[in-house]
Chains A and B, each alone.
Chain A
Amino acid sequence: MATAAVPAPLIGADLALRMYEQMQRIRAFEERVDQLYRSAKMPGLAHLYVGQEAVAVGVCEALRRDDFITSTHRGHGHCLAKGAAVERMFCELLGKEEGYCRGKGGSMHIADHENGNLGANAIVGGSTGIATGAAFSAKARGSDQIAACFFGEGALGQGVLYEVMNMAALWTLPVVYVCENNSYNEYTHYRETTAGGLTERAAAFGIPQEAVDGQDVLAVYAAATRAVERARRREGPSFLLCETYRYHGHHVGDVDRAYYRSKEEEEQWKAERDPLQILRAWILEKGFADEEVLEQTAERVETEVAAAAEHALAAPFPDPSEVGEHVYAG
């Protein structure tokens, strides 16, 4: 494994509390999405990010607003961490006009151009080209923007990822590949699908790699900052492997999971490696806030999320005539 190029950044009270709030926001959002699905108020399905919050927040806090990200089918956390508004997110999930894509994208296709989010993607590995192309563009335009490319360990089975990693290394592109290993390619453990080591894939292209505990936002943030700074200095791509866990099923409807993973395994992750609890303990230990402040943060976010969901439920659908709009630009 590559050693850290620069020392881990210092994380002060403001940043720690902001990351805590963002992780709370993602969790509250996702739990509400689950409720909307279970109460049959949401069309279609959603893939929940609960359990993985530290990865999106740790990486996106290391980015600037004008940096690019691409996301995945399990993308709500990335969108929120990059600055998306909860209300417009809910509106999109419910197919409403106010949604980020005017209801045309839905859960798996939220894009938020103003915050550099080039879109979630329902094809596994499908956005790796877009992220690498955005990095190419940043370099070609003489901008100092960088791109972060989120994908799950399932994308390690897709050839296009290796095609673009090769070019990113060849052409010293400012892109950070963020592999979120939540252990499951849908309903199959990755060890049944993935030969060899994970970071070794990046090593083959000469791309520096780092493996971190994806449940520890401090570790993710520190590693992401090193990778982002390297990209910003125009020294080339990096590969960040974040070991994490998804608490829910592959999607909201995947409730009977015993055939591919045990309840004990799920409970153990929640009890021992919950990203919110880990950060909470650290904040308390550091004295950055007390229990009451953290409780207030959680309540504030919960209230915001509940109000946003109610707003979205009451919001209008797009006019049916919009179906033929936006097929072509111009």
Chain B
Amino acid sequence: MSTPAEVAVPKEHEGTREISLAQAVNEALAEELRRDPAVFLIGEDVAEAGTPFKVTSGLVEEFGPERVLDSPISEAGITGIGLGAAMTGMRPVVDIMFGDFLTLVMDQLANQAAKVHYMSGGRLQAPLTLRTTLGATRRSAAQHSQSLHAWVAHVPGLKVALPSTPYDAKGLLKTAIRDDNPVVFFEDKMMFAVKGPVPDGEYTIPFGVADVKREGEDVTIVATSSMVYVGLEAAELLADDGVSAEVVDPRTLVPLDRETLVASAKKTGRVVVVDEGHTSYGASAELAAAIAEDAFYWLDAPVRRAAAMDVPVPFSPVLEDQTVPTPESVAALSKSLLGKA
């Protein structure tokens, strides 16, 4: 994958600074911890270590070990404890170090947290935020590289956010923590160093509002998380060939802003969906289906998917780099929809 830091995301804000995505997440956590005594962080190495990605550095120093808790290596247990706390007046943020470890928390997430509100006829709530990662190309092999957002997006009762920029990450995370539902919040571990403009003051970004990261006329590239940068680079390549590409970032999979996706599809008539989950039965299929259902008569070509290969993520760079969409592959796929080689 390309280095996202090299791509400038067009986003204008008043009084902005350039900070990394890791810093943006850190600020969101700190602000919410400051604002609401019910918020606490729990996870492996979230306190003094600040996580392996240094995202939570400094928080335990400000908020103390009772609100920033280093946990045992017990993903299911900490998610269950987070859930019980959420059901009884707290707003926990559970840190699951790698998205691959979602497999270990699935009962607590899918059978318990997702269903608490519904099964109780609306009488119980679970305002739980679970932060985790996605994304390959870190040379971490098959058990530390998966993008499993489709797994949780499939379960009614969970909300799913996957921001691509520091600005979006901060605003969406604050919304997640204030939401009265369980939210699974995915950060691409390859994006923590990506810098972008973030305003000085307080702001939140509502769920279910897609963002057009680049406007265009000929083809729509719907891209999630770090694939937004792949889409933007593809758009640059396409521009060199005289093709105008629009890049749309849904920002949350649940709830999904179908309207903005479909409006863009109707405008351009051609859509490529780029997502780092596996191709089969993935988030890209759902996004493609939404567009095919609602924009069918405006489409000039079938909606195409560019997603991760249906193989476990391999270790060797020579192998791994083939498994994920690239700006070149997305540009080529986009051109094929325009009848261009």
Q: Give a binary string over B171-210; 1 marks a CB under 8 Å from any A CB, 0 the rest.
A: 0000000011100000000000000000000000000000
Q: Give a binary string over B48-79; 1 marks a CB under 8 Å from any A CB, 0 the rest.
A: 00000000000000000010010110101111
Contact, CB under 8 Å: A129 / B119: no
Contact, CB under 8 Å: A102 / B77: no
Query: With contacts A129-B108, A140-B90, A329-B180 known, is A109 near B119, CB below 8 A?
Result: yes
Q: Who on chain A is nearest to B77 by CB? A: A163
Is B279 located at the chain interface by the 8 A CB criterion?
Answer: no
Contact, CB under 8 Å: A166 / B80: no
Partner of B107, one of A123, A135, A164, A329: A123
**Would you list which residues of chain A between 76 and 132 have a CB under 8 Å from chain B?**
99-105, 109, 111, 113, 118-119, 121, 123, 126-132
A330 to B178, CA, bound (A): 11
Query: With contacts A132-B80, A327-B157, A328-B157 known, is A140 near B123, CB below 8 A?
Result: no
Query: With contacts A111-B124, A123-B107, A329-B181 known, is A137 near B85, CB below 8 A?
Result: yes
Point out the residues of chain A lying under 8 angstroms from B77, CB to CB. 129, 132, 160, 163-164, 166-167
Selecting from B109-117, B296-304, B329-337, the interface stretch reads: B109-117
Contact, CB under 8 Å: A118 / B85: no
A128 to B84, CA, bound (A): 9
Contact, CB under 8 Å: B119 / A140: no
Q: Contact residue range for chain B?
A: 35 or more
Contact, CB under 8 Å: B108 / A329: no
Distance in Å from the Cβ of A299 to the closest Cβ of chain B?
Answer: 33
Partner of B80, one of A102, A129, A328: A129
Contact, CB under 8 Å: A163 / B85: no
Is B82 located at the chain interface by the 8 A CB criterion?
Answer: yes
Contact, CB under 8 Å: A328 / B181: yes
Point out the residues of chain A lying under 8 angstroms from B112, CB to CB. 121, 123, 126-127, 129-130
Most chain-A CB neighbours within 10 Å: which of B40, B82, B85, B112?
B85
A130 to B112, CA, bound (A): 9
A131 to B112, CA, bound (A): 12
Partner of B117, one of A99, A100, A133, A329: A329
Is A68 located at the chain interface by the 8 A CB criterion?
Answer: yes
Most chain-A CB neighbours within 10 Å: which of B122, B159, B181?
B122
Tally of A-B residue pairs with Cβ under 8 A?
A: 150
Is B2 located at the chain interface by the 8 A CB criterion?
Answer: no
Distance in Å from the Cβ of A31 to the closest Cβ of chain B?
Answer: 26
Is B88 located at the chain interface by the 8 A CB criterion?
Answer: yes
Contact, CB under 8 Å: A163 / B117: no
Query: With contacts A141-B90, A170-B72, A328-B117 known, is A128 near B157, CB below 8 A?
Result: no
Q: Who on chain B is nearest to A322 by CB? A: B121
A129 to B69, CA, bound (A): 16
Point out the residues of chain A lying under 8 angstroms from B80, CB to CB. 128-130, 132-133, 160, 163-164
Contact, CB under 8 Å: B84 / A134: yes
Contact, CB under 8 Å: B124 / A118: yes
Point out the residues of chain B lying under 8 angstroms from A118, CB to CB. 84, 87-88, 124
Q: Who on chain B is nearest to A128 by CB? A: B80
Point out the residues of chain A lying under 8 angstroms from B81, CB to CB. 129, 132-133, 136, 164, 167
**Would you list which residues of chain A between 301 and 330 have a CB under 8 Å from chain B?**
325-330
Is A138 located at the chain interface by the 8 A CB criterion?
Answer: yes
Is B89 located at the chain interface by the 8 A CB criterion?
Answer: yes
Most chain-A CB neighbours within 10 Å: which of B84, B157, B181?
B84
Is A196 located at the chain interface by the 8 A CB criterion?
Answer: no
Is A159 located at the chain interface by the 8 A CB criterion?
Answer: yes
Q: Who on chain A is nearest to B120 by CB? A: A111
Query: With contacts A133-B87, A164-B81 known, is A123 near B111, CB below 8 A?
Result: yes
Distance in Å from the Cβ of A163 to the closest Cβ of chain B?
Answer: 3
A142 to B79, CA, bound (A): 22
A136 to B87, CA, bound (A): 11
A47 to B87, CA, bound (A): 25
Query: With contacts A136-B81, A140-B90, A329-B125 known, is A163 near B119, CB below 8 A?
Result: no
Point out the residues of chain A lying under 8 angstroms from B221, CB to CB. none
A147 to B84, CA, bound (A): 10
A65 to B78, CA, bound (A): 26
Contact, CB under 8 Å: A160 / B76: yes
Is B33 located at the chain interface by the 8 A CB criterion?
Answer: no
Contact, CB under 8 Å: B119 / A111: yes
Q: Who on chain B is nearest to A99 by CB? A: B121
A128 to B111, CA, bound (A): 13
Partner of B83, one of A102, A133, A147, A166: A133
Contact, CB under 8 Å: B181 / A137: no
Distance in Å from the Cβ of A324 to the closest Cβ of chain B?
Answer: 10
Q: Who on chain A is nearest to B108 by CB? A: A129
A29 to B294, CA, bound (A): 52
**Would you list which residues of chain B between 154 and 180 have a CB under 8 Å from chain A?**
156-157, 159, 179-180
Contact, CB under 8 Å: A133 / B88: yes
Distance in Å from the Cβ of A270 to the closest Cβ of chain B?
Answer: 34
Point out the residues of chain A lying under 8 angstroms from B88, CB to CB. 68, 118, 133-134, 137-138, 141
Partner of A140, one of B66, B76, B117, B127: B66
Distance in Å from the Cβ of A245 to the closest Cβ of chain B?
Answer: 28
A134 to B85, CA, bound (A): 5
Binding site for B on A (CB under 8 A): 68, 70, 99-105, 109, 111, 113, 118-119, 121, 123, 126-138, 140-141, 147, 159-160, 163-164, 166-167, 170-171, 325-330
A105-B121, A133-B85 provided; 8 other pairs, C-beta below 8 A? A101-B120, A118-B84, A132-B80, A133-B88, A136-B84, A136-B90, A140-B85, A170-B72
Q: List 20 A-B contacts (CB under 8 A).
A: A68-B88, A102-B122, A104-B120, A111-B123, A123-B107, A126-B108, A130-B84, A133-B83, A133-B87, A136-B90, A137-B85, A141-B88, A159-B76, A160-B77, A160-B80, A160-B108, A163-B80, A327-B156, A328-B159, A329-B122
